[in-house]
Amino acid sequence: MWEEANNCGQVNKETNRWDQTVKEKTITETRHRFQSPDQVVKDLGRVSYLADNSIGSAVYLADRLSKPVLVEGPAGTGKTQLAKSVAEVLGARLIRLQCYEGLDESKAIYEWNYKKQLLRIQAQNVAGDQELSTPDSQGGTKSTWNELEDDIFSEEFLLTRPLLEAISAQDPVVLLIDEVDRVEIETEALLLEVLSDYQVSIPELGTVTANQVPLVFLTSNNTRELSEALKRRCLFLYIDYPELEREKEIVRVRVPGISDRLCDEIGRVVRTLRTMELKKHPSVSETLDWARSLVLAGIQSVDETTAQGSLNLLLKYKSDIDKAQKELSLVDKS
């Protein structure tokens, strides 16, 4: 969908992808993807993502209100996985924008393929030279210049980056903006237009508006406070470490061939570890690693020696391991 930004009065001859979407836009109102929060939870369960009620209602609401979801929580609790699983449930393509310090417009939204533009200009020059050599080329340069300008700022020379990609996609997509807290506070502003209006303004072309509102997930590890402007535009979802029962369920689903007893013990040990004051508490993914390795080693139940030997899978700091050993009274055995 276009709004001519430059009032040069030229008509863009090309009928491209986005022109067509103008007509379709009015027809395809976004269809609701989920019927109820319950359904979200169930659907996610089908792809082995065990959601709780807070996740269910946030995703459901995001769909209904067409708003992005800002997912926060400790590392390794399945924030990114949530976006992946939702994409899987919907059969949608996942477009991922990994944020990092120094991320800019040309990496996040779009970029002009200037090498190709240069080539195009050079090709024109060659053609122009040939025309000049023929006698009947009076005043030809002016019109070719305009044509050329139109030409090199057209969609053909535009490299779409994740945000524009998600906006202009024809197929259903889920957009994941990962670790948004890593970009500088100034760069956050880049996201605002996309997140609130689902549109991207390109000075040379005009405004591209989405013809379908994608589901958007932003994840943050909370290393800094996000700006109010960003938070205001999003629904907020905090994924904490799961409750004992849910964690056991996750282990059971994700680690095939685990016995109920082992599963129960793993869950309880991890819960106990999380009540301690550690630098870094074991995350769900670390619990899963631990469970897998115990199953592989053919261990049936967690006792002192097993715990002693495998704590390093759960805890990643020496001081944490020492402390946990002391608290679980494992030390005297060694």
Partner 1 sequence: MIDLLEGFVLELRKAGIAVSMSENVDCASALAHFEVDNREFFKYALGSCLVKNQAHWQAFETVFEIYFSRTGRKIDKDESIDWDEALADLARAGLQDGASGDLTQAGGAGEPISDEEFAALLFRALQNGETQLANALGRLAVLRYAGMEPGRPVGGVYYLYRTLRNLNLDAVLEELISQESTRRDRRLSPLQERLVRDDYKSRIDSLKREIEAEIRRRLVADRGPEALARSIKKPLPEEIDFMHANRDELLQLRRSIQPLSRKLAVRLARRRRHLRRGSLDFRSTIRHSMSYGGVPVDPKFKKPRAHKPEIVILADISGSVASFARFTLQLVHALSSQFSKIRSFVFVDGVDEVTRLLENADDIGEAVHRVNTEADVVWVDGHSDYGHVFESFYERWGKEFTNKTSIIILGDARNNYHASNSWVLRELEKKVKHIFWLNPEPRAYWDSGDSIVGAYGTYCEGVFECRNLKQLDAFVDNLA
Q: Rank residues 17 and 333 by Cβ distance to partner 1 and give the closer one.
A: 333
Please report which residue ranges of the chain form alpha helices under DSSP H. Answer: 17-27, 37-46, 53-65, 79-90, 105-108, 114-133, 140-152, 162-168, 185-197, 228-233, 244-254, 260-275, 284-296, 304-314, 318-327
Told to check if 294 binds partner 1 by CB under 8 A, we report: no
Residue 334 to residue 331: CA distance in whole angstroms: 6
Q: Rank residues 3 and 184 by Cβ distance to partner 1 and give the closer one.
A: 184
Told to check if 319 binds partner 1 by CB under 8 A, we report: yes
Question: 81 and 49 in contact (C-beta within 8 Å)?
Answer: yes
Q: Which amino acid is at 90?
A: L
Told to check if 37 binds partner 1 by CB under 8 A, we report: yes
Told to check if 234 binds partner 1 by CB under 8 A, we report: yes
Q: Rank residues 96 and 231 by Cβ distance to partner 1 and give the closer one.
A: 231
Which position among 56, 68, 162, 214 is part of the footprint of partner 1 (CB under 8 A)? 56
Closest approach, Cβ 16 to partner 1, in A, equals 35
Classify residue 225 by its DSSP letter: P
Told to check if 169 binds partner 1 by CB under 8 A, we report: no
Q: Rank residues 307 and 314 by Cβ distance to partner 1 and give the closer one.
A: 307
Phi, psi of 209 (to 5 degrees): -110, 145
Told to check if 29 binds partner 1 by CB under 8 A, we report: no
Question: 236 and 65 in contact (C-beta within 8 Å)?
Answer: no
Told to check if 57 binds partner 1 by CB under 8 A, we report: yes
Residue with structure tokens 């897998």?
292
Instruction: Considering only the stretches 7-15, 116-124, 221-229, 250-258, report the one whose residues sit in contact with partner 1 under the rule CB under 8 A.
Output: 221-229
Closest approach, Cβ 312 to partner 1, in A, equals 16
Q: What x/- string results for residues 101 through 120 when contact with partner 1 is judged by CB under 8 A?
A: x-------------------
Closest approach, Cβ 51 to partner 1, in A, equals 11
Told to check if 237 binds partner 1 by CB under 8 A, we report: yes
Told to check if 42 binds partner 1 by CB under 8 A, we report: no
Q: Exposed (0-12), middle (13-18) or buried (19+): which is 214, by Cβ within 10 Å?
A: buried
Classify residue 243 by its DSSP letter: P
Q: What is the DSSP string of 84-117?
A: HHHHHHHTPEEEEEE--TT--HHHHTEEE-HHHH
Q: Rank residues 230 and 258 by Cβ distance to partner 1 and give the closer one.
A: 230
Between residue 259 and residue 288, which ones bind partner 1 under the rule CB under 8 A? 265, 268-269, 271-272, 275, 277
Q: Measured on CA atoms in the order 178, 182, 185, 187, is the torsion positive or negative?
A: negative
Residue 282 to residue 270: CA distance in whole angstroms: 7
Closest approach, Cβ 218 to partner 1, in A, equals 12
Told to check if 121 binds partner 1 by CB under 8 A, we report: no
Residue 222 to residue 226: CA distance in whole angstroms: 8
Closest approach, Cβ 239 to partner 1, in A, equals 10
Residue 79 to residue 176: CA distance in whole angstroms: 10
Told to check if 171 binds partner 1 by CB under 8 A, we report: no
Question: 173 and 166 in contact (C-beta within 8 Å)?
Answer: yes
Q: Rank residues 34 and 157 by Cβ distance to partner 1 and give the closer one.
A: 34
Q: Rank residues 47 and 65 by Cβ distance to partner 1 and give the closer one.
A: 65
Residue 237 to residue 51: CA distance in whole angstroms: 12
In the complex, the residues that contact partner 1 under the rule CB under 8 A are 37, 53-54, 56-58, 60-61, 64-65, 67, 69-70, 72-73, 101, 184, 222-225, 228, 231-232, 234-238, 240, 244, 265, 268-269, 271-272, 275, 277, 302-304, 307, 318-319, 322-323, 327-330
